C-alpha cells in the first residue's frame, strides 16, 4: 500500500507506472498473436509430420504426433535449439526418395 501512495504523489513515477502498465498490455496481445500463430503451425505439423519415424531430434518426447508435443517442438525450433536436426529428421532422405539426373522424386 505504501508503494501506491508514493507513486500517487509523484507525477513522474505515476507516468512511469502508467507506461509500464500500457506496455505490458500491448505485449500481452503480441504474445497471444504469436501463440495463435504457433498453434496454427503446430496443427499443420501434426498433419504433415505426424507419422515421421523417430530419429535424432524427433523422438518419443519431441514429435509431431499430438498438438502438445508439436507445440513443444515448435518452441524448440523458434528458440533455435537443434532446429536443423528436426529439419533433417522430418525431410525425405534415401531410401525413401530417388534422384535421377534432371529430376528428383
Domain that holds residue 98: 2-104
Mean residue pLDDT across the chain: 84
Q: Are 86 and 77 in contact (CB under 8 A)?
A: yes
pLDDT over 90, % of the chain: 36
Find the mean pLDDT for residues 97-103.
62
For 11-54, the pLDDT digits (tens) are: 787 788 889 888 998 899 999 999 999 999 999 999 998 888 88
Supply the pLDDT for residue 14: 79
Q: What is the pTM of this model?
A: 0.67
Structurally, the chain folds into a number of domains equal to: 1
Supply the pLDDT for residue 97: 61
Find the mean pLDDT for residues 56-76.
91
Amino acid at each position: 500500500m505504501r508503494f501506491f501512495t508514493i507513486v500517487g504523489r509523484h507525477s513522474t513515477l505515476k507516468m512511469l507506472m502508467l507506461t509500464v502498465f500500457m506496455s505490458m498490455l500491448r505485449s500481452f496481445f503480441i504474445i497471444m498473436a504469436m501463440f495463435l500463430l504457433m498453434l496454427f503451425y503446430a496443427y499443420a505439423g501434426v498433419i504433415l509430420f505426424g507419422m515421421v519415424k523417430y530419429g535424432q531430434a524427433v523422438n518419443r518426447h519431441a514429435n509431431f504426433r499430438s498438438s502438445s508435443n508439436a507445440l513443444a517442438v515448435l518452441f524448440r525450433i523458434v528458440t533455435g535449439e537443434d532446429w536443423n536436426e528436426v529439419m533433417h529428421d522430418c525431410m525425405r532422405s534415401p531410401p525413401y526418395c530417388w534422384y535421377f539426373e534432371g529430376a528428383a522424386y
